[in-house]
Amino acid sequence: METLELKNDLLRMVAETNDPLILKQLIALFATLKSEGDWWDLLNEDDKQKIEQGQIAKEKGDLFSNEAVRIQAQAILQN
């Protein structure tokens, strides 16, 4: 696929999405790849707090594995 086709496909996908999270992630990815800045600076304060809370929970060991969450979700769905 040529560069022009890649750009057109990307532009089409961006134009078709209304999901702000996807758009923010794309902006962060481009900024990181182009070394225009730290992705952390592109996050809003709420997202930064959530990441920091996750880091604290990890340090305390208050986390569940993906498998444990899947098992619990599956049990809930079966009831």
Integer Cα distance of 4 and 53 in angstroms: 42
Report yes or no: 32 and 39 within 8 Å, Cβ to Cβ.
Answer: yes
Residue 63 pLDDT:
84
Answering whether pTM is above 0.75, one says: no
pLDDT surpasses 70 at 8: yes
14 has pLDDT over 80:
yes
Domain ranges of the chain: 1-42, 44-79
H helices of the chain, in order, are 3-16, 20-33, 39-42, 45-60, 66-78
